[in-house]
């Protein structure tokens, strides 16, 4: 990764993702997470403050080592035991059936091989385990989709691989049979970048 990805982009993510309404979305998504948890795309660690006491242990991964200078301050003061790895989501070294829950927040948009990552998420979840996610992606409005498709090549450059036009619901349903998803436009976002998918997918018992 170059200077932009390792230095400029982490600073921008820390600033932007700290703003409202992101904290409210994080709090709502994470309130029922429990047990041994894996977070894919930990970034600068902004989710850490919103994990409840029911989380026994947290493993966090992110492929961008430049995020660590922000994340380390949060990790050092965490009340939850945390193991942090510089690692992408497509090839997880964890055993099958290892986690009670997996979390992803605004990450599936950027993983190069997102289908492989979702297959790995399913694999490492315990039977009955839950995948908690909130992501932005493809709008249901064809007029907005036109702009999402036009702008995605530029978005990938300025936002380190982020796609505006991934159908997150369909991607998750390709790997999980039981998926509950709420779709909505995020507050104060342009429609081309603010169509949100918030949901829970459950692994078969």
pLDDT tens by residue, 91-115 = 999 999 999 999 999 999 999 999 9
pLDDT tens figures, 140-174: 999 999 999 999 999 999 999 999 999 999 999 99
| Percent share of the chain, pLDDT over 90 | 92
Whole-number average pLDDT of the chain: 96
Whole-angstrom CA distances from 189 to 17, 136, 147 are 12, 11, 14
CATH number of the domain within which 89 lies = 3.40.50.150
Domain count, the chain: 1
Residue 13 belongs to domain spanning: 3-202
Cβ-contact 168, 148 below 8 angstroms: no
pLDDT tier for residue 69 given thresholds of 50, 70 and 90: confident
Contacts of 92 (CB under 8 A, 6+ apart): 38, 61, 120, 123, 124
pTM of the predicted model as reported, rounded to 2 decimal places: 0.96
Whole-angstrom CA distances from 34 to 29, 54, 57, 84, 189 are 12, 5, 9, 18, 30
Whole-angstrom CA distances from 2 to 6, 7, 14, 65, 66 are 6, 8, 18, 11, 10
């Amino acid at each position: 990764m170059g200077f932009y990805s390792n230095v400029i982009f982490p600073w921008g993510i820390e600033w932007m993702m700290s703003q409202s309404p992101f904290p409210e979305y994080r709090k709502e998504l994470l309130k029922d997470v429990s047990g041994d948890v894996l977070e894919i795309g930990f970034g600068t660690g902004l989710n850490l403050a919103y994990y409840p006491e029911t989380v026994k242990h947290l493993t966090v991964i992110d492929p961008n080592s430049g995020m660590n200078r922000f994340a380390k301050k949060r990790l050092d003061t965490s009340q939850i035991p945390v193991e942090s790895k510089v690692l992408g989501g497509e090839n997880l070294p964890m055993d099958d059936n290892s986690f009670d829950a997996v979390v992803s927040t605004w990450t599936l948009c950027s993983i190069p091989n997102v289908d492989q990552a979702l297959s790995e998420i399913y694999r490492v979840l315990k039977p009955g385990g839950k995948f908690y996610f909130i992501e932005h992606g493809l709008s249901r409005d064809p007029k907005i989709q036109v702009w999402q498709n036009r702008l995605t090549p530029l978005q990938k450059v300025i936002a380190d691989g982020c796609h505006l036009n991934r159908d997150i619901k369909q991607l998750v349903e390709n790997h999980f049979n039981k998926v509950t998803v709420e779709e909505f436009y995020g507050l104060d976002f342009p429609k081309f970048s603010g169509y949100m998918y918030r949901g829970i997918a459950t692994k078969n018992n």
